[in-house]
Structure 1
């Protein structure tokens, strides 16, 4: 049997069956966003992989962003997107757009796609039943970019134990009821850490962790925490990849045994990464 990646079909490898047995009953937190979300065909491919993993008896929590669509709507409304150190700066007007796009459009669209495979998906934001409470990342009173304060892990456990697949938009509120935009990688990492997930999987628009960001052949398929720190200190990991890697580090230091960073634009990316030993992305471990 072949292990090669193809745009047409997923080829089971000799190790697939043992990996399926290994993962049955496990809990995976998957973060979905970026360029892997830009087209209908890409969305359908990702949802198919998630539905397939769910059918194998894997418990899945799907956390999503949608920055590309937020930016598109901001431009339409003559609001200039702003970023600092790879994170969005969210003023009051931007926050309204963020919530509209994430909770009102993308979340329900993903639920609709999962419904096509008869997956009992449940669309949520952090605001629902205080699933996620937040506090401001900045001291600027008009910046509604938030950090995770608390996760209602009992609610998530109840949903997973009853075979639901939670689909969570990265929006939350603080104790006063103010709404905050939380980076989806950050939220996925916090959720994975709180529920002690077996894996955190970040679907990105890069092959994974690279020695050279301009050369996809420099992909690092297996990397430990000490090596990650070294890549950060030497400037190999830079710019927008820094907050993503920081989320990986947080998860590894807080109960999550493995984190995967993979290119969500590749057909069957999730299946090749999880159900073959060759894999196609980066696996980060302690």
Structure 2
């Protein structure tokens, strides 16, 4: 395990400084978690409000640097929907959605790549570097990291049958070649990846960030996949947070209608990732400062963990 040299954020102005005894207890409680994730790969999908809020973005960057300094191999995959929408509006390019996916024609995919691989990617890289890390920005096109194919059909919401669609340059992963990520991660560098892929014919394809991160985590057999969102996690019928789910429980909640709407494809994607060999996927509330450290290095975690089996009694997580 590497020595931890990167401090967390200082307490807010209205918060008292923890006593040395409290600080020591916090570190002691984190030790078992630090050991568990030592030299393990954790893929983190960064998006939502956390990207648009400067304080949350800084806290996220600190978390990532702390992970690297702790001996964990963090891999960051980021989204950028609001920033893409803003740039398209500035350029007076109209954009529609089909089943939650942006219809991406040739002018739109050029803007998507410019915003994701350029503006957003380098902002995140710079944020991590400011916190003492050494981040490197790439996309799924680098070293053929993410080979994808155009999406030509999607499930019809009414019949649940597959229906032919034409949504342009939007892709689904078909082959993941993680060599470049391995090379970066095995050094003191942190990979930050824009979810842009390439087809076998050389076409640039826009890939949903959750889908991209899931495919990468599955291929690399990551210890964890963390999906930062703008919700607390999966809620039960009484709108209380469900802290843990097995695959069977998740499927039953979908069948019962408790999990509905846009959460269904997210959960179905999580199930596929776990079945592919990732130990667990966690849907995390990205609006919580230091949510990554809370999830990985505390007993209770934060958000909804989906795995093959429950980790501990009383809601505690291993």
Fold shared by both chains (TM-score > 0.5): yes
Q: Tell me the distance in 2 between the aligned counterparts of 1:242 and 1:86.
A: 12
TM-score using structure 1 length: 0.91
Q: Gaps spanning 5+ residues in structure 2: where?
A: 1-10, 154-164, 309-318
Counterpart for residue 158 of structure 1: 183
Q: Are 1:90 and 1:143, in contact at CA under 8 Å, matched by a contact in 2?
A: yes
Structure 2 match to 1:37: 51
Partner of 1:281: 303
Q: Tell me, what secondary structure is at the counterpart of 2:202?
A: coil
SS at match of 1:134: strand
Q: Distance in 2 between matches of 1:24 and 1:110?
A: 24
Q: How far apart, in 2, do the equivalents of 1:13 and 1:205 lie?
A: 29
SS of the equivalent of 1:25 reads: coil
Q: Corresponding residue for 2:151?
A: 137
Tell me, in whole angstroms, the C-alpha distance in 1 between the residues paired with 2:254 and 2:168.
27
- Matching residue of 2:294: 272
Native 8 Å contact 2:30 2:298 kept in 1? yes
1:142 is displaced (CA, Å) by: 5.7
SS in 1 for 2:182: helix
For residues 124-273 of structure 1, the aligned pairs below 5 Å read 124-138=138-152, 143-212=168-237, 215=239, 218-273=240-295
Higher mean C-alpha deviation, range 134-143 or range 97-106: 134-143
Flag the structure with more relative contact order, 1 or 2, with Cα contacts below 8 A and sequence separation at least 6.
1
When normalised by structure 2's length, the TM-score is 0.82
Q: Is 1:85 aligned to residue 118 of structure 2?
A: no
Q: Does the Cα contact within 8 Å between 1:85 and 1:239 map onto a contact in 2?
A: no
C-alpha displacement of 1:237: 2.1
- Kept after mapping to 2: 8 A contact 1:86/1:239: no
Q: Which moved more, 1:262-271 or 1:112-121?
A: 112-121
The count of corresponding residues between Structure 1 and Structure 2 is: 278
CA RMSD across the alignment: 2.0
Aligned to 1:279, what secondary structure does the other structure show?
Answer: coil
Residue of 52, 62, 65 corresponding to 2:76: 62
* Cα distance between partner residues in 1 of 2:27 and 2:299: 8
Aligned to 2:312: none
Which residue is equivalent to 2:315? none
202-211 vs 151-160, greater mean Cα deviation: 151-160
Give the aligned partner of residue 6 of structure 2: none
Contact 2:102–2:167 under 8 Å retained in 1: no
